[in-house]
Amino acid sequence: MSIQTKASRVTVSTLRKMKAEGEKIASLTAYDASFAAVLDEAGIDIILVGDSLGMVVQGHDTTVPVSVDDMVYHSRCVASRCQRAMLMVDMPFMSYTSSQQALETARRLMQEGGGQMVKLEGGEREVETVRKLSEQGVPVCAHIGLQPQLINKLGGYRVQGREHHQATKMLEDAVALQEAGADALVLECVPEILAAEITANLDIPTIGIGASPACDGQILVLHDILGITPGHVPKFTKNFLQGNKRIQDAISSYVVEVKRGTFPATEHCFES
């Protein structure tokens, strides 16, 4: 199982090819130039400038306070050292409440921030937004399951899709987002069996976080895999710095385990 060469820039077509050939997609977050260079060199396929920066960089309790200006700034920093990996950028809370607003947010994240793909949270309610973005040539990654931007509505970080009607709806949403033009789909905190079923029913790649090893790829927050996240450590993460002397080695170990399919293991997944 080969990792793409350094000279080959990862694109939407690359991701589709990786899914078709069974090569796992290794993704991590980054928020600055230095870590972007390390991730890029280690063979990370997608670097996500996540609105998780609100928590791990800015010190907030949620991602809600993060602004478009914040995302543009950090994306621009990461883009300066991102040579091979695809650069994906989160559209922050309340920045895509209408198709027109979503187009303007995407424009800024790509033109000013250097992003190559934008990510937004939501199922059925965001189908039309995904369609409008796709029609304008914007690569889109949808995000269903646990949606951190809705944490105040959900009342906590909980596994999504354990009830039969929830699981059915999630699968329907995934198919609808694909049909609207989504190029990838993040599944967060979803029961392992459901994540595998969604993955099998889509032509676009799925990227799991607390989902299933059957997903076409995995993503984690950089600070989590280095064991420096304060407070509660999510069940679905792993400290890859343990047993490694350097940060670079920890990230390389993450890439290897994702590519081999040994991460996530059973203990990182959720039952129905």
DSSP state of 85: S
Residue 10 contacts residue 27 (beta carbons within 8 Å): no
Which sign, positive or negative, has the C-alpha torsion 103, 86, 12, 255? negative
pLDDT at 5 (0 to 100): 43
Burial label, 104 (beta-carbon count in 10 A; 0-12, 13-18, 19+): middle
Which sign, positive or negative, has the C-alpha torsion 141, 98, 53, 112? positive
State the residue for tokens 């129905």: 272
Q: Which residues make beta-bridge pairs with 145?
A: 188
d(CA 34, CA 56): 16
End-to-end CA distance of the chain: 31
Q: Can you give the pLDDT of all 272 residues of the chain as single tens digits?
A: 444 444 589 999 999 999 999 999 999 999 999 999 999 999 999 999 999 999 999 999 999 999 999 999 999 999 999 999 999 999 999 999 999 999 999 999 999 999 999 999 999 999 999 999 999 999 999 999 999 999 998 888 899 999 999 999 999 999 999 999 999 999 999 999 999 999 999 999 999 999 999 999 999 999 999 999 877 889 999 999 999 999 999 999 999 999 999 999 999 999 98
Active site residues: 188
- Measure Cα distances from 88 to 29, 146, 175, 234 in Å: 9, 19, 21, 23
Q: Which residues make beta-bridge pairs with 55?
A: none
pLDDT at 149 (0 to 100): 96
pLDDT at 157 (0 to 100): 84
Write out the two tokens for 214: 């059957």
Taken in order of first residue, the domains within the chain and their CATH numbers are: 12-268 (3.20.20.60)
Is the pTM higher than 0.85? The answer reads yes
